[in-house]
């Protein structure tokens, strides 16, 4: 595989993601899905994963350094234009895509860089794998201002836990950055509901900001597919299957 490179003339970042084979859009014939649904990190009131038709797989993008640079550069420009470059000292990447994206952003912005190691949580069959974050390999100064970097912000349901684990280091989270913010709720500001940063308005700066629908599993829009098992729980492992469905 040859490197994809960066943006082509007239190309946007989502098109670049597609060119990197990093975007899945469930094919449909009218309202009938011709490919599987995909799970998201967020959960409904019954602790079931939310699901949807679109998946942004940054793993397929991060193998192309110039493409990662294009996503990081887009956030850098937004930070500069909004006067936010001097508000943080360090970029902290959340694995795995956020680590790759965050390191490139730190390089461009002239900031320190750290990243979390991820440790799998026990996860039931039929649910998306979850993780805890370990930052013990890095030393943060008390009050060190941190921008948290993730590849994709889906619905911010797990964000408070992530911020709480970063707070253990003594760092002060001041900003959230990412390659894609696809949340249907949170646009440019996220305010934690629990943990040490409760009530603190955190700017959210993403290379791409585009809301995509997500559904509870008993929503009429997806219930028949869920009942038929038309969902791919291991998205990255079976990415080729999803791509074949999308192009087939």
The pLDDT tens digits along the chain (248 residues) read: 678 889 999 999 999 999 999 999 999 999 899 999 999 888 888 889 999 999 999 999 999 999 999 999 999 999 999 999 999 999 999 988 999 999 999 999 999 999 988 777 777 766 666 777 777 788 889 999 999 999 999 889 889 988 998 998 999 999 999 999 999 999 999 999 999 999 999 999 999 999 999 999 999 999 999 999 999 999 999 999 999 999 87
CATH number given to 68-209? 3.40.50.2020
Plot region of 241 (φ>0 → left; ψ -120 to 50 → alpha; else → beta): alpha
Q: Rounded distance, CA 1 to CA 155, Å?
A: 33
DSSP 157-225: TTHHHHHHHHHTTT-EEEEEEEEEE--SS-SSEE--SSSTTTT--EEEEEEEE-----B-TTSTTTHHH
Q: What is the dihedral angle through the alpha carbons of 107, 103, 141, 181, rounded to the nearest 10 degrees?
A: 110
What is the CA 21 to chain-centroid distance, rounded?
A: 16
Rounded to 5°, angle at Cα 104 from 119 and 180: 70
Domain segments of the chain: what residues? Answer: 13-58+214-247, 68-209
CB 228, CB 34: distance < 8 Å = no
Q: Quote the pTM value.
A: 0.90
């Amino acid at each position: 595989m040859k490197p994809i490179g960066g943006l082509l003339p007239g190309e946007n970042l989502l098109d670049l993601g597609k060119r990197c084979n990093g975007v899945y859009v469930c094919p449909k014939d009218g309202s009938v899905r011709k490919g599987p649904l995909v799970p998201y990190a967020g959960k409904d009131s019954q602790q079931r994963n939310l699901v949807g038709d679109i998946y942004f797989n940054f793993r397929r993008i991060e193998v192309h350094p110039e493409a990662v640079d294009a996503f990081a550069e887009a956030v850098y420009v937004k930070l500069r234009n909004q006067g936010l470059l001097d508000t943080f000292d360090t970029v902290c990447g959340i694995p795995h895509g956020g680590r790759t994206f965050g390191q490139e952003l730190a390089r461009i912005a002239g900031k320190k860089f750290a990243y979390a190691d991820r440790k799998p949580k026990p996860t039931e069959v039929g649910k998306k794998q979850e993780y805890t974050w370990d930052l013990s390999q890095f030393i943060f100064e008390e009050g060190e201002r941190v921008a948290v970097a993730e590849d994709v912000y889906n619905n911010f349901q797990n964000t408070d836990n992530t911020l709480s684990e970063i707070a253990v280091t003594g760092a002060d989270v001041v900003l959230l950055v990412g390659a894609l913010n696809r949340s249907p709720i949170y646009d440019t500001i996220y305010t934690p509901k629990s943990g040490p940063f409760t009530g603190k308005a955190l700017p959210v700066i993403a290379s791409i900001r585009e809301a995509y629908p997500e559904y509870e599993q008993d929503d009429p829009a997806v219930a028949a597919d869920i009942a038929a098992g038309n969902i791919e729980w291991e998205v990255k492992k079976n990415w080729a299957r999803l791509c074949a469905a999308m192009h087939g």
